[in-house]
């Protein structure tokens, strides 16, 4: 589930990065599309009783995440900042999941996370992004860790995981997507005329990606699963090189290999 989640997540971010220069409008279209797609299910699934506070916390964490993401992608290549934001998250999430959720931290999980983190450093160190972009990327990683732990707690608090998934996307799409659209105003309308198809596709893929992740967080160890989702870095590097025509040097390729090795450890030994 988490490998598939990582792959679709990298695809969503590639679509977002390849879109127009107005990143805030692009993000508003993605999140708004996700909300519109899941909206009919709100009348079918039960309400997420016991998780409203977690949904509110998730909305706040996602606002920080998306604000930092927009700024990082506006300042640097995807291949430079994506590994930093995704690779810094599992270490923070691992510590938080042990402290907040009471998840176990085994040697295999710690080793797998270490490989993922070392691979991330290799990817990021060579041809590092500008300092401002690096700061926004690290802020994105911290926000990812925050919403990961919050959503893991929230999805476990609901009677049905699908309820939390549906209302999470509605809250994010209406709250954050609407906020970004209002911030851009007329520029959002202009961007929507040319980017709405890409936004709809990315919005649908976002549901698949994070829906899989939330389902897994309900059942398993968050530290292990969060690190597994960071295989999206490997897919992101491939997409950046093949489709966005960004340069991926040997150091970044080696870093991607270490991330894949960490994922293998987490799958086979943890």
Residue whose tokens read 């025509």: 245
User: What pLDDT is stored for residue 102 in this prediction?
Assistant: 79
Mean pLDDT of the chain: 84
DSSP states of 112-140: HHHHHHHHHHHHHHTTPPPHHHHHHHHHH
Task: Find the angle CA(217)-CA(220)-CA(224) to the nearest 5 degrees.
Answer: 90
CA-based nearest residue to 180, from 81, 46, 63, 80: 63
Buried b (16+ CB within 10 A) or exposed e, 74-107: bbbbbbbbbbbbbbbbbbbbbebbbeebebeeee
Cβ-based neighbours of 77, under 8 Å, separated by 6 or more? 129, 240, 244, 246
The predicted structure's pLDDT at residue 21: 74
Q: What is the 3-state secondary structure (H, E, C) of 60-76?
A: HHHHHHHHHHHHHHHHC
- What are 36-58's pLDDT values in tens digits? 999 999 999 999 988 999 999 99
Work out how many domains the chain is built from and give that number: 1
Q: What is the predicted pLDDT for the residue at 124?
A: 67
**Predicted local distance difference test score (pLDDT) of residue 60:** 95
- 64 Cβ neighbours under 8 A, 6+ residues apart: 139, 143, 146
Q: What pLDDT, on a 0 to 100 scale, did the predictor assign at position 69? A: 86
Confidence of residue 8 (pLDDT cuts 50, 70, 90): confident
pLDDT tens per residue, range 218-255: 888 887 787 777 777 777 777 777 777 777 677 777 88
CA distance 34 to 149: 22
Domain of 129, in residue numbers: 2-268
Higher per-residue confidence, 38 vs 263: 38
Structure tokens at 233: 């870095």
Q: For the chain, give me the number of helices (H) and strands (E)? A: 12, 0
Helix, strand, coil % over all residues of the chain, rounded to 5: 85, 0, 15
Q: What is the 3-state secondary structure (H, E, C) of 39-61?
A: HHHHHCCCCCCCCHHHHHHHHHH
Quote the CA–CA distance of 257 and 42 in Å, as a whole number.
41
Q: What is the pLDDT of residue 97?
A: 79
- The whole-number pLDDT of residue 37 equals 96
Residues 204-218: tens digit of each pLDDT = 999 999 899 898 888
């Amino acid at each position: 589930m988490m490998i598939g989640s990582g792959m679709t997540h990298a695809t969503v971010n590639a679509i977002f990065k390849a879109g127009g220069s107005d990143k805030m409008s692009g993000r508003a279209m993605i999140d708004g599309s996700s909300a519109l797609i899941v909206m009919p299910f709100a009348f079918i699934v039960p309400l997420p009783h016991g998780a409203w506070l977690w949904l509110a916390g998730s909305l706040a964490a996602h606002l920080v995440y998306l604000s930092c993401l927009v700024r990082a992608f506006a300042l640097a290549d995807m291949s430079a900042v994506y590994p930093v934001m995704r690779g810094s998250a599992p270490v923070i999430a691992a510590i938080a999941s042990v402290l907040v959720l009471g998840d176990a931290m085994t040697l295999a999980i710690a080793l797998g996370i270490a490989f993922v983190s070392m691979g991330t450093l290799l990817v990021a160190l060579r041809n590092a992004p500008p300092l401002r972009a690096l700061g926004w990327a690290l802020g994105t990683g911290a926000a990812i860790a925050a919403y990961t732990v919050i959503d893991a707690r929230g999805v476990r608090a609901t009677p049905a995981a699908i309820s939390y998934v549906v209302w999470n996307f509605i809250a994010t799409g209406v709250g954050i997507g609407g906020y970004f659209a209002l911030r851009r105003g007329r520029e959002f309308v202009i961007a929507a005329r040319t980017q709405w198809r890409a936004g709809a596709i990315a919005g649908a893929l976002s549901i698949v990606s994070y829906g899989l992740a939330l389902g897994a967080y309900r059942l398993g160890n968050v530290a292990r699963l969060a690190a597994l989702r960071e295989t999206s870095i490997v897919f992101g590097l491939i997409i950046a090189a093949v489709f966005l025509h960004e340069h991926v040097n040997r150091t970044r390729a080696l870093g991607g290999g270490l991330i894949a090795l960490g994922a293998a450890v987490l799958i086979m030994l943890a």
